[in-house]
Amino acid sequence: MRLNYPSSIRIIRVPCTGKVDVLHILRCFERGADGVYVVGCREGDCHYQSGNFRAKKRVEQAQQLLDRIGIGGSRVRMCNLSSSDAPLFVRFAEEMHAAVLGAGPNPVRAALASKRTITDPPAAGLNAGTGPLS
């Protein structure tokens, strides 16, 4: 349907959101990403039965940790949708883009920004198992 969504999002493919580790999420922020969101199948629809529930737990774990060290838990988010639901995928992308803009650049990066100029706020999106949305 070629719906448009913000171009700040890059997708990394995994077989199931159950494969996304807390370390992966933290690594993104450590490297300077401004936001990470994990997109998995609808609850109860996971092809591997419980993958997306695990992912939800890890996202919560990451949220608490990022809050406590001052990066901000709102930068990481778990979303669930069915692979044919393109409009919802776009809504999640827009919400995430807005949330990241609202939260401002990653504090880790902002602090060191004085040494370098950064153009565009890249946000890495971890999109799992839902394949292409045409």
Partner 1 sequence: MEIITQAEVQGLDGVPGRFTARVRQHPRYIDTAKCTSCGECAKVCPVPLPNEYDEGLSVRRAAYKRYAQAIPGAFAIHKADKAPCRVACPAGLNVQGYVQMVKEGKYHEALEIIMEDLPLPGVLGRICPHGCEDACRRAELDEPLAIRDLKRLAADRVDPREITVPCAPRRPETVAIVGSGPAGLSCAYHLARRGIRSTVYEAQSKPGGMLRVGIPAHRLPREVLDREIEVITQLGVEIKTDTALGHDVTIDGLFAAGFKAVYLALGAHKGIELGIPGERADGVRQGVDFLREVNLSGMTWVGRRVAIIGGGNVAIDVSRSAVRLGAEEVNILYRRTRKEMPAWEEEIRAAEAEGVKITYLAAPQEILVREGRVQGLRCIRMELTEPDSSGRRRPVPVPGSEFEIACDQIIPAIGQRPDLAALEEVNGLSFSRFGTAEADPVTYATGRAGVFAGGDLLTGPWVAIGAVAAGKEAAESIRRYLDGRDMAAGREPIKNEHPRYRPVPRNEPRRPRAHMPELPVAQRQGNFMEVELGYEDSTGRGEAGRCINCGYCCECLQCVEACLAKAVVHDQKPVEREIQVGSVILCPGSSPFDPSAIENVYPYRKCPNVVTSLEFERLLSASGPTMGHLVRPSDGKEPKKIAWLQCVGSRDINRSGNGYCSSVCCMYAVKDAMIAKEHAHGGLDCAIFYMDIRTFGKEYEKYYLRARDNAGVRFVKARIHSVDEVGPERALHLRYVDDAGRLQEEVFDMVVLSVGLQVTPETRELAERLGVEVDKYRFAVSPPFMPVATSRPGVFACGVFQQPKDIPGSVAEASAAACLAGSLLAPARNRLARQVEIPAEIDVRGEPPRIGVFVCNCGINIAGVVNVPAVVEHARRLPNVVFAGQNLFTCSQDSQEQMKQLIAEHRLNRVVVAACSPKTHEGIFMDTLEATGRNKYLLEMANIRNQDSWVHAQAPQRATAKAKELVDMAAARAATLNPLQEKVIPVNQRALVIGGGVAGMSAAVAIADQGYEVVLIEKEDRLGGMANRLHATIEGWEVPRFLQELTHRVQSHPRIQALTRALVVGFSGFKGNFTTEVLVGPAMYERKIDHGVVILATGAVEYLPTEYLYGQDPRVVTQVELGDRLHGKGAQDLSHVVMIQCVGSRNDQNPNCSRICCQNAVKNAILIKRLNPETQVIILYRDIRTYGLLEDYYQEARKLGVLFFRFDAQAPPQVEAGEGGIAVRFHDPIIGRDLQVDADLLALSAGMVPADTEELASLVKLARTPEGHFMEAHVKLRPVDMATEGLFICGTAHSPQLLNESISQAYAAAARAITFLSKSRLTLSAVTAKVTADLCAACLICVRSCPYHVPKINAEGVSEIDEALCHGCGICAAECPAKAIQLNWYEDEQLLCKVDALLEGVI
Partner 2 sequence: MEHVRVDEISAGPMPAESSPVGAVMVVGGGIAGIQSALDLANSGYYVYLVEKSSAIGGLMSQLDKTFPTNDCAM
Partner 3 sequence: MIVAAKKPIEEIIEQVKGLRSVLVLGCNECVTVCEAGGKKEVGVLASALRMYFLQQGREVNVGEHTLERQCDTEYLEEIRNNIDAYEAVVSLACGVGIQFTAERYPSKPVYPGVNTCFMGAALERGVWAERCQGCGSCILASTGAVCPVTRCAKRLLNGPCGGSTAGKCEISKDVDCAWQLIVDRLKTLGRLEDYETLCPVKDWSTDRAGGPRKVIREDLRS
What span, in angstroms and rounded, lies between the C-alpha atoms of 72 and 106? 9
Query: Applying CB under 8 A, does 112 fall inside the site for partner 3?
Result: yes
What does residue 43 show for φ and ψ, rounded to 5 degrees? -65, 130
Task: Kindly state whether residue 119 participates in binding partner 2, applying the rule CB under 8 A.
Answer: no
| 30 makes contact with partner 3 (CB under 8 A) | yes
Nearer residue to partner 3 within complex by CB, 21 or 43: 21
Answer yes or no: are the C-beta atoms of 4 and 87 closer than 8 Å. Answer: no
Structure token digits, residue 134:
């045409």
| Residue 84 binds partner 2 (CB under 8 A) | yes
Residues 4-43 that bind partner 2 (CB under 8 A): 42
108 touches partner 1 (CB under 8 A):
yes
